[in-house]
Amino acid sequence: MAIETHQDRVEPAGTGPPLGGPGGVLRPWWLRPGAHVGVIGAVVGYILGHLLGNFLSSTYAQNALSDSNDVPIVLGYAFGTIGWLAGLGVFNDLGRQVLGKPLLAEVRRGAGEVGLSKYFRYTLDHKVVGIQYLYGMIAYFLTGGLFAMAIRSELLSPSYHLLGPNQYLMVVGEHGTMMMMMMSSVILGPFGQYFGPLLIGSKRVAFPRLEALGFWLTPAAYVILLSAVLFGGFPTGWTGYEPLATQATQGEDAYFFAFGLMGLSMILAGFNMIVTIINYRAPGMRWSRLPMFVWSMFTVSFLQVLAVPVLVGACYMALMDRTFQTAFFANQLGGSSFLYEDLFWFFGHPEVYILALPGFGVVAEVIAVFCRKPLFGYKIAAAGMLGVGILSFFVWQHHLFVSGINPDMRPLFMLTTELISIPTGFIFLVAMGTFWKAKIRFSIPMLFALAFYFNFLIGGISGVFLSDVPADTTEHGSFFVMAHFHYTIMGGLIFAFFAGVYYWLPKMTGIKLNEKLGKLHFWTMFIFFNTTFLPLFALGLMGMPRRVFEYARNLETLNDWVSISAFCLGVSILIFLINFVLSMLFWREPEVGNPWRARSLEWQVSTPPPPENFNRVPVILSGPYDYGVKDALPVADLDPPPGVIAAAYAGAPGGEA
Amino acid sequence: MTTQPGDQPAQPSTSPRHGLRLFLIWLVLALAADLIIWFVWRPHLPPGDMSDAARHQQFDIAVLAISGAPVVIFVLLYFIYSIVVWRARPGDDTDGEPIYGNTKIQATWIIGTTVIVLWLFVFGTVELVVPAGAGAGEGPSPIWKLAGTTSSTWTPNTNTTLQVQVIGQQWTWTYRYPQFGGMESSELMLPVDTPVTFHVTSLDVIHSFWAYQLGVKADANPQVDNVAYVTPKTLGSVTVRCNELCGIWHGAMFNYGHVVSPTAFQTWASGVQAKEQSDGVLAALPPYALTYDPTVVPQLGKNLPKIDQITGAAGYYYPPSDPVTP
């Protein structure tokens, strides 16, 4: 059993020579593996892969519509990724073990280190990984947002004027893919990695190497996805439907490779999270005391581990079709384009819950703190998340209602889709029960949480319209769908992400964001989000399909309104960025205590948390939501007397640790 | 909501009956919203009433709206009410009442949402089966069919089903009428009050045939015959758009159709058939089939005169684009 109960226990991995060689002195940062070496590795790897591809496929039949061969591109990406990871030092421990050498004694590398260089290395401390994810995700989100601005600029007029049709599809594809694939980790990455172990009373995660690898795959996926721009983009949007994807030029390789790579990152993050939550809970952290955010991480991790491999497989098959000319998805050659649609959506629907569920978790934490009340219906809340997670595997065909696949099953998929609204309703019941006779404090996280419920309500109800096959016949593939999933993902996930940023950033960095700018950010974002996306429902119902640059002239006024709102929404995000940069770099207003008077475990330790989170493994005494309870026990004993923990595990199998 | 919640929250005896108050406000608002949706909004809801399928979809959207509106209003009202009534007053630093749950309320909520969901499922299934798929693509062998006699020729006012093959390709639509010698048109013409069967297929990538006013939407998959039924009910014009991303000119892949009287349709169709016969177009077109494989179109490469002005596909099917064919 992997529960760590001794404060000074030395890991078997830690017996080798100290980090940095025999002298015990750290080499200077530029001589150690890190992002800068990784870049060199990536470039060298890409060139090697490209040359290998040319060598392997020089006499290969080329795609009739492509101007050059796809094999060198894909092999270049593959070797480039390996070079990047090698430069980061991902394989160093592996190499030492293969050679029979002892590992370097930097077991919890990064935990106690000072300076910025740890953020640019393959650091195994989950708090460092959380910070890396935070900055990474903000960067990816802003990139995707810029593409959205370009889309809305093009849609200012009903005919193409700013971007060519090719560029327009490139921008649409980059925006969609960036948001759907990178943002799958926008909460699980920063807050899940950082606070997951803290919230369950653990000093570390189960698989720190997998966790760090999960993060370092995201910059690779990001760069590869963006590299599609160099090939003129990919024309398939974020769904990559075959056979259009086989017909497309090399940008499509970037799409499939990047999506597959991000899929690997999600799988690794999910594995680590599941094992950590099951095995690394502190004594007394029963399942019934698990914070709701941890429940959401737990559910999402299962979705990632079970659903994402299907995507990785689909991307792999599509790449094989494009490079080595297999025919998984070519109808004329015995393959099936339906197969791709099925595989993609079998991943794709759980994916949207991978995006939505972490939001449920964050807002559940936030409302309990700022209502000063216990979470209403704890079991219902956990059941709601698990229910959504399980049902999400049985609904994927609703994306294919008019496709002609297996049409007799449509009533069944209509039923399963509508059934999801029951567990989703639990999330609302929990919120409403918590608000009952509460003492609501309107802090910025709370405002974002309230907006989350508003947006998700609209997103959820519009989902009911889409689940009904006859109504869906008009709405399918139109701007109505687009509005629907922006309400659930941007209105849900991203609002919850910002709630998390304002709520947890003081804990992560010891610095709080400016409140005035924060309020301005919230109100502009909430108002302009709604003025942007509400009219899109109407546009869809009036007959505007997705991903078009030409639309009926009578829709121009509404489209212009949406575009101008979208620009204002962009300004609102800019306000956040300004606030973030100024607060973090210049104002640096310290916040070291427990500003929200929250009960949960992460707020009980010092700020920023000590290198190993807890000096001793805490003993959990009560649930995290006992607000308003007279004589409530503190949530944990952070300094339990020696022997308590050993006694707690005395009866457990393998618990003699 | 206009009532003041009272400034002394510490006295439970005088605390208002929040539940009853919420229920009454909700009842009024929900009733008003539903009446407005049903009587004011419903006639204007898309996709209109040009065909039986469109009418059913309009009806469905309205029913979903009156089923959903009370839920939305309840949740929104509740949040607004709680924000107003249960906000922490300045200086109040105390915690709320520790309520961990309420079995009755939880059970009511679960049962309530389940009933709504099951109602929506039953309603949706009936509305899918009764109007023969409600205009959605039903795959190659539909089980919910439209009533009407099938025949290899079509004459007006005999309740004979008109077959129309919709062929998508990058980036144009072609309509083929097998009951008129397999003639092709780039313009969709339909007779009113006649059962119509669309056979939707594609020559290259996935498209989606969306005849907006008719309430018809069916994906055009290569080598798949996707069937959709509709009965146009009023005269007028129809916008056809491609609804599935199909490449760079996807946005420009639209054209228009018309619903005309059966006799006018007969005249038009026979006229086009005769013209294409005399121009040699019909002989040059591939034999009528439910699906087309662009790699085996026998006429490829033939010199086809005078076709440009007549047919949408211009008699020219895309060259093979799959990677193995040299």
Residue A581 in any domain: the answer is yes
Same domain as A145, residue A98:
no
Say if the Cβ atoms of A247 and B47 lie within 8 Å.
no
Same domain as A169, residue A97:
no
Asked if the model's pLDDT at residue A656 lies above 60, the reply is no
C-alpha to C-alpha distance for A90 and A108, rounded to whole angstroms: 14
Asked if the model's pLDDT at residue A242 lies above 90, the reply is no
Same domain as B120, residue B61:
yes
Same domain as A91, residue A128:
no
Same domain as A148, residue A202:
yes
Q: What is the pLDDT of residue B294?
A: 62
Same domain as B114, residue B203:
no
Low-confidence ranges of chain B (pLDDT < 50): 1-12, 300-326
- Domain's final residue, options A587, A610, A633: A587
Task: Classify the phi-psi angles of A490: left when phi > 0, otherwise alpha if psi is within -120 to 50, otherwise beta.
Answer: alpha
- Local confidence band at A110 (pLDDT 50, 70, 90 cut-offs): low
C-alpha to C-alpha distance for B234 and A640, rounded to whole angstroms: 80
Q: What is the pLDDT of residue B155?
A: 87
CATH number for the domain including B233? 2.60.40.420
Same domain as A241, residue A179:
yes
Say if the Cβ atoms of B124 and A469 lie within 8 Å.
yes
A27, HSE (Cβ side, Cα atoms, 13 Å) = 10
B126, HSE (Cβ side, Cα atoms, 13 Å) = 9
Residue B175 in any domain: the answer is yes
Chosen from A469, A478, A482, A629 to mutate, greatest number of chain B CBs within 10 A:
A469
A-proximal residues of B, 190-229, CB under 8 Å: 200, 204-206, 208, 210, 212, 215-219, 221-224, 226-227
What chain B residue is nearest to A479 in terms of C-alpha separation?
A: B243
C-alpha to C-alpha distance for B198 and B177, rounded to whole angstroms: 10
Same domain as B197, residue B113:
no
Number of domains in chain A: 2
Share of chain A above pLDDT 90, in %: 59
CB B171, CB B252: distance < 8 Å: yes
Residue A641 in any domain: the answer is no
Residue B153 in any domain: the answer is no
Residue A622 in any domain: the answer is no
Same domain as B186, residue B71:
no
B155, HSE (Cβ side, Cα atoms, 13 Å) = 1
B212, HSE (Cβ side, Cα atoms, 13 Å) = 25
- Domain of B265 in residue numbering reads as 162-296
CB A272, CB A207: distance < 8 Å: yes
The count of CB pairs under 8 A between chains A and B is 318
A146-to-A153, A397, A569 alpha-carbon distances in Å: 11, 32, 11
Q: Nearest C-alpha of chain B: how many angstroms from A316?
A: 17
- Local confidence band at A517 (pLDDT 50, 70, 90 cut-offs): very high
C-alpha to C-alpha distance for B214 and A182, rounded to whole angstroms: 39
Q: What is the pLDDT of residue A2?
A: 43
SS3 A291: coil
Say if the Cβ atoms of A244 and B100 lie within 8 Å.
no
Same domain as A314, residue A216:
yes
Please check whether residue B8 touches A, CB under 8 A: no
C-alpha to C-alpha distance for A446 and A451, rounded to whole angstroms: 9
CATH number for the domain including A128? 1.20.210.10
Paired with B226 in beta bridges are B200
pLDDT digits (tens, 9 = 90+) for A309-349: 999 999 999 998 888 878 898 887 788 999 999 999 999 99
Question: Looking at the partner chain, which of B75, B204, B226 has a beta carbon nearest the beta carbon of A457?
Answer: B75
User: What are the residues whose beta carbons fall under 8 Å from the beta carbon of B303, sequence distance 6 or more?
Assistant: none
Tokens matching residue A22: 């025999």
Same domain as A211, residue A85:
no
Q: What is the pLDDT of residue B14?
A: 59
Same domain as A287, residue A435:
yes
Average pLDDT of the segment spanning A372-394:
92
Instruction: Count other Cβ atoms within 10 Å, centred on residue B144.
Output: 17
C-alpha to C-alpha distance for A247 and A253, rounded to whole angstroms: 11
C-alpha to C-alpha distance for A417 and A428, rounded to whole angstroms: 18
Residue B149 in any domain: the answer is no
Say if the Cβ atoms of A429 and B60 lie within 8 Å.
no
- Domain of A257 in residue numbering reads as 123-587
SS3 B117: helix
Residue A605 in any domain: the answer is no
Same domain as A55, residue A129:
no
Q: What is the pLDDT of residue A76?
A: 93
Same domain as B176, residue B117:
no
Same domain as B279, residue B172:
yes
pLDDT digits (tens, 9 = 90+) for A342-366: 999 999 999 999 999 999 999 999 9
Q: What is the pLDDT of residue A66?
A: 46
Say if the Cβ atoms of A627 and B96 lie within 8 Å.
yes
pTM for this predicted structure: 0.90
What chain A residue is nearest to B10 in terms of C-alpha separation?
A: A437
Q: Nearest C-alpha of chain B: how many angstroms from A366?
A: 15
Residue A447 in any domain: the answer is yes
Asked if the model's pLDDT at residue A31 lies above 70, the reply is yes
- Domain's final residue, options A62, A89, A122: A122
Least confident of A147-151, A544-548, B237-241, B297-301: B297-301
**If you ran DSSP here, which 8-state letter would residue A630 be given?**
T
Q: Nearest C-alpha of chain A: how many angstroms from B219?
A: 5
* Interface predicted TM-score of the whole assembly (ipTM), two decimals: 0.86
Q: What is the pLDDT of residue A105?
A: 58
Number of domains in chain B: 2
Residue A182 in any domain: the answer is yes
Say if the Cβ atoms of A376 and B254 lie within 8 Å.
no
SS3 B1: coil
Same domain as B175, residue B112:
no
Average pLDDT of the segment spanning A166-176:
92
Instruction: Count other Cβ atoms within 10 Å, centred on residue A143.
Output: 17
C-alpha to C-alpha distance for A62 and A323, rounded to whole angstroms: 9
A340-to-A64, A260, A315, B143 alpha-carbon distances in Å: 22, 14, 9, 25
Average pLDDT of the segment spanning A228-250:
88
Same domain as A388, residue A254:
yes
Least confident of A571-575, A596-600, B279-283, B294-298: B294-298
Same domain as A193, residue A65:
no
Residues of chain A contacting residue B11, judged by C-beta atoms under 8 Å apart: none
pLDDT digits (tens, 9 = 90+) for A75-93: 999 999 999 999 998 998 8
Residue B23 in any domain: the answer is yes
More reliable by pLDDT, A27 or B143: B143
Paired with B256 in beta bridges are B239
Tokens matching residue A396: 């994927």
Phi and psi (nearest 5°) for B312?
-65, -45
Q: Contacts by A481-487 with C-beta closer than 8 Å and gap 24+?
A: A481/A540, A481/A546, A482/A536, A482/A540, A482/A546, A483/A533, A483/A534, A483/A536, A483/A537, A483/A539, A483/A540, A484/A459, A484/A537, A485/A352, A485/A459, A486/A459, A486/A533, A486/A536, A487/A455, A487/A456, A487/A458, A487/A459, A487/A462, A487/A533
Same domain as A185, residue A86:
no
